[in-house]
Amino acid sequence: MSLAALLVGWQLLVRGLDIQEWILPAPTAVGSTALDWHTELFAHGWVTLYETVLGFLVAVAIALPISVLVVYVPALQSTLYPVLLALQSIPKVAVAPLITLWVGFGIAPKVVVVFLVCFFPIVVNTIAGLQSTPTAMLHLMKSMQASPWQVFKRVRLPVALPSIMVGCKVAITLAVIGAVIGEFVGSEEGLGYLILTSTAQSKTALAFAALAILTFISIVLYYLVELVEKLLIRWD
């Protein structure tokens, strides 16, 4: 309902103030352009989606083991963790050109940028979740002579899962942004590339259509991660 009200207000504002389409297109103009360019939008959207999902999955695959190591090897908390924090503080927009220089063109630099923006939220939340295990539960498992693997599997991991999934949900929304940043720097395909070329040619309605698809992709991916969370974490 609020989205419909926003679109109606947007339409009335553009028509009432007679704003030129190349400055701010009306929603109807964006929809018409999306229909006219649906083939190109789908092709570029698929590229961005692929980069986003691949970079996110790589981040999950690397972040989870590193988080476990940081928790189980106390020395890494004072050595590796500050390095991760320093890497996170570097603006990804600034480092993206360097990644393109090092890795080259193609899909690889975009996946690396997505990985970088996803990695830290997953690591931070996973570490926090693993460290939040109640001490009483750990003592109980120790008294039962449980192995470290049994403690991890039956206590630490289940307790940490909600935090891990929070990190994943934050990361997946950032992943789309990372993919677009990578496409802005050097690409010949993807929605980020389409936005750059369309704005350069004053095709603002096409840029808005690409933005709408990016928003849709981000929302769908977020709810897919949330669905995985519900399948993994059962409260009943």
Tens-place pLDDT, residues 185-223: 877 788 888 988 888 888 888 888 999 999 999 999 999
* Nearest CA-CA partner of 63 in 75, 46, 78, 80: 80
Is 20 within the bounds of a domain? no
212: exposed, middle or buried (C-beta count within 10 Å: 0-12, 13-18, 19+)? middle
- Which residues span the domain enclosing 216? 37-230
Residue 1 has pLDDT above 70, yes or no: no
Is 19 within the bounds of a domain? no
Distance CA(203)–CA(64), nearest Å, equals 42
Supply the pLDDT for residue 122.
94
Which whole number is the average pLDDT over 128-139?
A: 81
Is 188 within the bounds of a domain? yes
Domain count across the chain? 1
- 8 to each of 2, 33, 95, how far by Cα in Å? 10, 18, 40
Which whole number is the average pLDDT over 90-107?
A: 76
Domain with residue 83: its CATH number is 1.10.3720.10
